[in-house]
Structure 1
Amino acid sequence: YTSGSVAQHTFVDEGVFSVTLTVTDDMGERTAVSQEITVVPPNTAPVSENLEVVLDEDSSQNISLVATDIDNDEITFSIESQPTHGEILLSDGVVIYTPESNYYGVDSFSYSASDGIEVGNTATVSILINPINDLPEAVLLASSQSGEAPLEIHFDASQSFDVDGDDLSYTWSSSNGVFATGMLATHTFDQAGEYLVTLTVSDTTGYDTDEILIHVAPYNIPPTAQNQSATTLEDQAVDITLLAQDPENQPLSYSIITQPSNGTLTLNGNIARYIPNSNYNGQDSFTFSASDSQNSSNVATVTLTITEVNDLPIAFFNTTPATGRAPLVVSFDASLSYDVEGELQSYLWDFGDGSTGLGALVNHIYQNPGEYTVVLQVIDQEGASASTQATVMVMPQNQNEIASYDFNSSSGTLLQDISGNNNHGIIDGATWSNGKSGNALYFDGTDDSVNIGNVNLSGNQMTISAWIYSNGFLDDDRIISKSTGQATNNHYWMISIANGNKLRFRLKTGTKTTKTIIANSATPTNQWVHVVATYDGSKMKLYRDGVLVASTNLTGTIATNSVDAFIGSNIGGYSPWNGKIDDLHILDKALNQQEILDLYHQ
């Protein structure tokens, strides 16, 4: 008996016990409740038995695992260790054991049993694998399986083997009987037909065979190819039917053996198309052969004669400049025109304005604006002729232009001023490149520039416009500048980059200090940008891609100086431009917003 709200008791014996709880209050009233406790005897783990199994090499064995449980509980088995020389598969207490291929000797694995409460002892299954003799494996190799009679074939059995390492013997036979013994054999089949060759490989207890079918065809007479000749005109293709005969009338295929030296050749079946090299005449040749299903013919030669014909001459000329303002002096150069067979006899020019000329090098003055089609006709010594044409664009004079550079009318080291004012530029280092439209000058950001001489703006109006392309800004990169030095007040007019990447315009009027305006936003790089700077007597303005980006009040007459102006740098080579400049114009008129937009969209 025990009192208190919590109690503990150990039942030593098995059986069914009734436990009663009685609760008493302060008034002596009692209430009782009972519960049965069942005590079962302790569990005993199952016992697994060691087993011994015997089987033959390369066979499998079902092994029933054995274990007893005195409590008669349901038993499950588990593998404790795997065999070393085989594989096992456990299912419902039965193990399927499969030894490794060709292995014999001893092996083992272990297992245990569980009754769901406890795991019993580990038992061992000892396995003995008895050796058995393995048959050899025959592998037949042959140098060929088909050919014409007489056909000699080399046979090889060296890849045959016996896993037990037994000594092997070899026998070679066909439908005509045994023809050789030994690992290597050679046999000649004299007659056409099909022969089944059998290799028999034997050890002391058994044998294995391998077979191969040999097809011997009747002797084939090769085809005969014929020598041929063909004639064609210079620059004209010719198709040649290749000729060959086969005594057995078998279908033939054709192959080119050597290519021609002075032309190209394509082959389609027995049709060879020969195309002589451009303008070649004289002799040429190629060789070919024909094949039936078994043999190739002799090599035959096709001799080719290419007859000379007169070729048309080639007309070509350069125009310098191709555009400009009237009156425009244009130089025409046809010296690159030619005739492949000799000299050109004459050069005939039609300048498109009613005038004509003769000779390889001619000059012509266009007095009036317009678009002119220039035609050159060249004639060779045989009377054959050819012509080509180009366009010359002559623009009217712009009374407000001080200097105008389209970069398309120039070459070499001269930048042509097409305004008619002869403010031509001397190129120093800058190189010609693709532009916004046509050509442009590329400045390397180191020491390139163009000196346009003593260009001055006077009065109280001006416009400078240009297309620019920067590869990356350096330090105060100059687009155009007229200045006696680097200081702000040294500048008479200038467009450049300031503050790293902002567009800047400087202008001096009268005797005043040079005025500067700078855009608030960055100038893009690696793309074409249109810049315009204007002064109308009361305001300086700066535009980028047709949009006003900076302005300030300014009055007075534009200051002048005899110092030279430069494109792509400041005087002395300072502050060089890094990129391209194209289509630059200097005017003594202030363009308005609409005119600037029109210029941007041209």
Structure 2
Amino acid sequence: DRYTPGTGTAAFIESNYDTVAVQNTGSYGQRTFVFSYALAGLVDGDSPSTRSDLLAAILDFFLEEPPPPPNNAPLALDDMETTREDSAVTILVLANDYDPDGDPLVLTGVTQGVHGTVEIDDSDTTVTYTPEADFFGPDSFTYEVSDGNSGSDIAQVYVTVKPVNDSPLALDDMETTREDSAVTILVLANDYDPDGDPLVLTGVTQGDSGKVEIDVNDTTVTYTPNPNFNGSDTFAYIVSDGNGGLDTGTVEIIVRPVNDAPG
């Protein structure tokens, strides 16, 4: 590389000296400078070649520029995030991270959560956490950040998955009774709630050929067929988990005939 002097001239008089400014190119290492000069003020008896050799010896040097400062690694700070059960969340993990040198940061790796998957998004600056189906509670994972200059750091992300209510599942039932005989039906016996909430009956429809009532315990129903009816009848019931979750089941009743005495 060739360095060019800055503006101005330097005058060297007898044993005095002066300075010449040169431009800084931003690189480092040894550089050679070439100076142009003219001798003036020679007196009788001076030899131009002698003065030239002397001046050239003074100006023949090189400059050792200092290397750039070493790269400072980025600092990745831990993060906390929340999401809801069965809902993925995008996390801006780099939002609170920084690089002392001002280098742009990117994500270079993540670990997986115990109860969810973690993916680096296309931007290389955010991640998406997806909890396992029906999981709620705490989970965590780590990520690695790089400054592009061999500097990296690792931080932890703590995710809290908040529960959401899962509706109960009411499964259809079948029951039999005899003509003119009421029957109590445990309609909730085969129903369940994913969250383990206790279930209660909140409503029933009536059969075409019989009457349906919810018992006082709100967990069973009593079906009473119409007098002398026999055959098949149906009705529906609604079950609740007490947290806004509802489902509807259907009950089929077979009413068996009995022999009626002659009247």
Q: Which range, TM-score by smaller chain?
A: 0.5 to 0.7
- For residues 111 and 154 of structure 2, the distance between their equivalents in structure 1, rounded to whole angstroms, comes to 10
Q: Match for residue 167 of structure 1?
A: 198
Instruction: Give, in whole Å, the separation in 2 of the partners of 1:90 and 1:216.
Output: 59
Distance 1:120 1:206, change over 3 A: same
- The amino acid that maps onto 1:61 is V
1:453-472 to structure 2, matched below 5 A, reads none
The residue number in structure 2 matching 1:187 is 223
Q: Is the 8 A contact 1:50 1:123 kept in 2?
A: yes
Judged with a 3 Å threshold, the aligned counterparts in structure 2 of structure 1 residues 46 and 180 are, in CA distance, closer, same or farther, namely same
Asked if 1:18 corresponds to 2:49, the answer is no
1:204 maps to which of 217, 229, 242: 242
More strand, by proportion:
1
Shift of 1:95: 1.8
Counting only pairs closer than 5 Å after superposition, residues 469-480 of structure 1 correspond to structure 2 as none
Which letter maps to 1:205? N
The code of the aligned residue for 2:193 comes to D
Letter in 2 for 1:203: D
**Correspondence for 2:115:** 85
CA distance in 2, matches of 1:216, 1:204: 31
Please state whether the residue corresponding to 2:118 is helix, strand or coil: strand
1:120 aligns with 2:156: no
Task: Give the structure 2 partner of residue 264 of structure 1.
Answer: none
What one-letter code is carried by the residue in structure 2 that aligns with 1:54?
T
Residue in structure 1 matched with residue 81 of structure 2 by the alignment: 53
Q: Structure 1: how far apart are the matches of 2:186 and 2:250?
A: 10
Distance in 1, matches of 2:136 and 2:157, equals: 16
Q: Deviations over 1:388-433 (max 9, x none)?
A: xxxxxxxxxxxxxxxxxxxxxxxxxxxxxxxxxxxxxxxxxxxxxx
Q: Specify the alignment match of 2:188 in structure 1.
A: 157
RCO comparison, higher one (Cα < 8 Å, 6+): 2
1:46 offset after TM fit, Å? 2.4
* In structure 1, C-alpha distance between the alignment counterparts of 2:191 and 2:149, rounded to whole Å: 58
Distance in 2 (alpha carbons) for counterparts of 1:161 and 1:18:
83
Count of residue pairs brought into register by the alignment: 186
Q: Which runs of 5+ in 2 are unaligned?
A: 1-25, 34-64, 258-263
Any conservation in 2 of the 1:156–1:183 contact (CA below 8 Å)? yes
Backbone CA RMSD of aligned residues: 4.1
Quote the residue 1:62 is aligned against: 90
C-alpha deviation, 1:183, in angstroms: 4.4
SS across alignment from 2:192? coil
- Secondary structure in 2 matching 1:128: strand
Matched, 1:109 2:109: no
CA positional deviation for 1:194:
8.5
User: C-alpha distance in 1, partners of 2:119/2:230?
Assistant: 57
Report if the CA contact (8 A) 1:140-1:199 is conserved. no
SS at match of 2:191: coil
Report 1:187-586 matches (<5 A).
187=223, 189-190=225-226, 197-212=235-250, 214=252
- What runs of 5+ residues in structure 1 fail to find an aligned partner? 1-12, 21-36, 220-602
Aligned partner letter, 1:210: T
CA distance in 2, matches of 1:70, 1:207: 52
- Give CA-to-partner distance per residue, 1:132-160, whole Å, 9 cap, x none: 4444332232248xxxx989986642222
State the secondary structure of the residue aligned to 2:31. Answer: strand
The residue matched to 2:113 in structure 1 has which SS?
A: coil
Quick one: distance in 1 between partners of 2:253 and 2:174? Answer: 12
Identity %: 26
**Distance of aligned partners of 1:41 and 1:175 in 2 relative to their CA distance in 1, 3 Å threshold:** same
Give the Cα–Cα distance (whole angstroms) in 2 for the partners of residues 19 and 189 of structure 1: 112
TM-score, normalised to structure 1, is 0.26
Alpha-carbon distance in 1 for matches of 2:73, 2:201: 63
CA distance in 2, matches of 1:17, 1:195: 101
CA distance in 2, matches of 1:179, 1:59: 40
Distance apart, 1:71 and its partner CA: 4.1
Tell me how far 1:168 sits from its aligned partner.
2.0
The residue identity in structure 2 corresponding to 1:103 is F
Distance 1:90 1:206 in 2: 36
Q: Is the 8 A contact 2:180 2:224 kept in 1?
A: yes
1:544-599 Cα offsets, whole Å, 9 max, x none, are xxxxxxxxxxxxxxxxxxxxxxxxxxxxxxxxxxxxxxxxxxxxxxxxxxxxxxxx
Say if 1:152 and 1:19 are closer, same or farther in 2 by CA, change over 3 A: farther
Q: Is the 8 A contact 2:91 2:128 kept in 1?
A: yes
Q: Output the CA distance in 2 between the equivalents of 1:164 and 1:216.
A: 33
Task: Give 1:173 deviation, angstroms.
Answer: 1.9
Q: Distance in 1 between matches of 2:144 and 2:76?
A: 6
Are residues 197 and 167 of structure 1, via their aligned partners in 2, closer, same or farther at CA, if it must alter by over 3 Å?
Answer: same
Partner Cα distance (1:194, 1:119) in 2: 77
1:323-369 per-residue CA deviation (whole Å, 9 max, x = no partner) reads: xxxxxxxxxxxxxxxxxxxxxxxxxxxxxxxxxxxxxxxxxxxxxxx
Asked whether the equivalents of residues 140 and 157 of structure 1 are also in contact (C-alpha less than 8 Å), the reply is: no
CA distance in 2, matches of 1:157, 1:204: 14
- Cα deviation for residue 166 of structure 1 reads 2.8
